[in-house]
Chains A and B, each alone.
Chain A
């Protein structure tokens, strides 16, 4: 039975989205994307280096294979986020945007008020907004009502690798959601990814967990497998947790 992730008219077999930042080289980034099995790749918008420098990032990303998801990372105001989203749309000819409006540099927690306002404006302009937010079910609902194509609650602060800090909130968000819920940020290792998927998330987005692992290619593969395994386990339906034992071997026919 097919089990695809559908977001704003796009359909993906892989439920893992991978960022392109923090890799030691673009070649390593390209190999990690491949090892992860991802189909959605995030990129950031910055001033072009007029002194030449390294080649364009896009030379290392096969855009026939991957859907590019530009972000508004580094934006702290609604205006900057809107400006960045519009530039990304012009540059990549895509309506997709991962909207981030940050609240402060130390935590990189989202400014939810600003994110909600920016979502409303971008949706009106025809953008398909994947909205980064914290693990607040009320905020997730408001973003959905504002027209977000997907809601992306954080597992933990960006780049922290702390894993899912509040699985109960994530569950509540999922239960109430009518759009895909993609856990974004804070995933540190494969078990974090599996847990997110077992909770019923529609997908996961990660960057640092792969890019900064000792062996990014092995971790990319591990994250891909964990995402798939977690999704399968979620769909299989886990057994309820019980306090006492329940024998797996029959009681009848015992020799003693």
Chain B
């Protein structure tokens, strides 16, 4: 099924959990956060949150800034 991650469409497995998706994408937990359809998914919920077709996912991290 198709989802949008950070502005790009991407194929992901049906019924994949957010945690599995993050592992697949090799995303570290430290200093990152995830928003799905404009709603933040708290860390504790990553393991149980199921990704749905058409989800708009934003994964953010910290970069240099003033």
B-binding residues in A (CB < 8 A): 19-23, 26, 29, 42-48, 50, 52, 56-58, 68, 70-71, 73, 83, 86-88, 90-92, 158-159, 185, 205-208
Contacts and interface: CB of A to CB of B under 8 A. Distances in A.
Contacts of B62: 43-46, 56-58, 68, 70, 88, 91-92
Interface in B12-50: 25-28, 30-33, 35, 38, 40, 42-43
Contacts, number: 101
17 contacts: A19-B64, A19-B66, A23-B64, A26-B64, A29-B64, A43-B64, A46-B61, A46-B62, A46-B63, A48-B60, A50-B6, A56-B31, A57-B64, A91-B61, A91-B62, A158-B66, A159-B66
Given A44-B65, A47-B6, A50-B6, A58 B31 contact: yes
B3 interface: no
Contact of B30 (A42, A56, A71): A56
The prevalent SS among residues of A at the interface is mixed
Contacts of A57: 31, 61-64
Interface of B: 5-8, 25-28, 30-33, 35, 38, 40, 42-43, 58-66
A79 B8 CA distance: 22
A22 to B, nearest CB: 7
A22 B42 CA distance: 31
Nearest to A73: B65
A221 B25 CA distance: 40
Given A45-B60, A48-B59, A50-B25, A87 B66 contact: no
The winner among B5, B27, B33, B63 for most chain A CB atoms within 10 A is: B63
A91 to B, nearest CB: 4
B58 A47 contact: yes
Contacts of B40: 86-87, 90
A21 to B, nearest CB: 4
Contact of A21 (B5, B61, B65): B65
Q: By CB atoms of chain A within 10 A, which of B30, B60, B62, B65 has the most?
A: B65
Nearest to A79: B38
